[in-house]
Chain A
Amino acid sequence: MILLQLYLAFAKMGFFSIGGGYVMLSLIENEIINARGWLTSAEFVDILAISEMTPGPIAINSATFIGYRVAGVMGSIIATIGVITPSILLVLLAATLFKRFYQNSWVQAAFSGLRPAVIGLIAGAAIFITRTALIDLPSIIIALGAFLLLILTRLHPIAVLAFSALAGVICQYLF
């Protein structure tokens, strides 16, 4: 029964998390902490910190973590499947429609109009994160170096990420 509750709670959260995982945080607060008491506020802060420092979307990370806390390994599987269920259904539906209507001239027109919108959104995210991530001289130097490597060389972005992590370690132990 607890597994079914977990599945439904996370399916609901997955459904309402439109436009990035951070919408989910307030849902977790309401559903998981206040309504069900599956998690304490301190654990919630832990999850946020862990999510930031591990790969993957915050939605998946919190589902796996909370599922495990509530009902062990089975709980983690069920909660994770729950949170991605709405994605699977809706994205498959969208992908099917996309395949069928993509060549239509009106659909093409709509897409050519929304391409600049997508780029504008990414630029907005870049400005936002630059303000919060560039806090001191080492972080500015690392960001600038990584940016130049990404733009000017054919180095794989994953390699740039690894170099930056290494640079962070070196800076920390040097200064």
Chain B
Amino acid sequence: MNTNSLLQLFFTFFKIGATTFGGGYAMLPIIKREVVERFSWLSDEEFVDALAVTQSLPGAIAVNTAIFIGYKVRGFMGAVISMLGAVLPSYIVILFIAAFLTHFTEYKLVQAAFSGIRPAIAALIAAAVLKVGRPVIKERLNLALAFLFLIFSEVLGLHAILVILSGGLIGLIRHYIHYRQTKKKCEADTE
């Protein structure tokens, strides 16, 4: 059972690493399918929270997510194994290209395949908005906030970390207001 889940982590992140084109968000539907839907290692909410944490730290999102989820599932060993799984595919492919195939990008077949993969990456990220967003945005106010943050990052050019931090701040303020209200209500009730 124990070695089993380590192997599962390795192969899952190897698969994710091998199919992550276009960096960052394009692999979210793939990670979510494997990590949330197939193995239930994280809930919908935990998945978004893990993204928020790993995105705010230095390093590639795919590698950071692998370390974070690996740690959650199987502690330190899980983190190392998942990271190896995520990194090995690109390491092997690049080493091979650097050693033998420097003209890789000039092959007609490769170019043709990429004329299909590029629009698919756009579709993957667009689908990620719905797949990751729908389960966690249940209130109308949160939908409005998501739009607000979209404007922050796209129109005002605010850095991703600042967007995430201001989201956290809004959450804390809402909690504080709620906390004050219930406290007042309790005091009124005891009187």
Contact = CB atoms under 8 A, between A and B. Distances in A.
A31 B68 CA distance: 29
B119 A117 contact: no
Contacts of B7: none
B149 A120 contact: yes
Interface residues of A, number: 93
Given A109-B172, A143-B123, A156-B33, A60 B63 contact: yes
B142 A116 contact: yes
B127 A116 contact: no
Interface in A114-158: 114-130, 133-134, 138-140, 142-147, 150-151, 156-158
Given A60-B63, A87-B63, A133-B122, A164 B127 contact: no
A152 B120 CA distance: 15
Interface string A157-174: 110110011111101110
Interface string A76-94: 1000100110111011101
A174 B152 CA distance: 43
Contacts of A96: 71
B67 A91 contact: yes
Interface in B127-184: 127-133, 136-137, 142-143, 145-150, 152-154, 159-161, 163-175
Given A55-B21, A109-B175, A124-B150, A172 B123 contact: no
A92 B19 contact: no
A159 to B, nearest CB: 10
Give the interface size bracket for B toward A: 35 or more
Which of A109, A124, A150 has the most CB atoms of chain B within a 10 A radius of its CB?
A: A124
A16 interface: yes
B59 A116 contact: no
Contacts of A172: 108, 111-112, 115
Interface in A8-63: 14-21, 46, 49-50, 52-61
Contacts of A168: 112-117
Nearest to B120: A164
A54 B104 CA distance: 10
A18 B161 contact: yes
A124 B150 CA distance: 6
Interface of A: 14-21, 46, 49-50, 52-61, 64-65, 68-69, 73, 76, 80, 83-84, 86-88, 90-92, 94-96, 98-99, 102, 105-106, 109-130, 133-134, 138-140, 142-147, 150-151, 156-158, 160-161, 164-169, 171-173
9 contacts: A80-B91, A94-B57, A114-B52, A122-B129, A147-B126, A150-B123, A160-B124, A164-B119, A166-B113
Given A21-B24, A114-B164, A142-B123, 14 more contacts: A18-B56, A50-B97, A54-B93, A55-B90, A86-B59, A94-B54, A95-B72, A98-B50, A106-B172, A109-B172, A117-B167, A119-B133, A160-B124, A164-B117
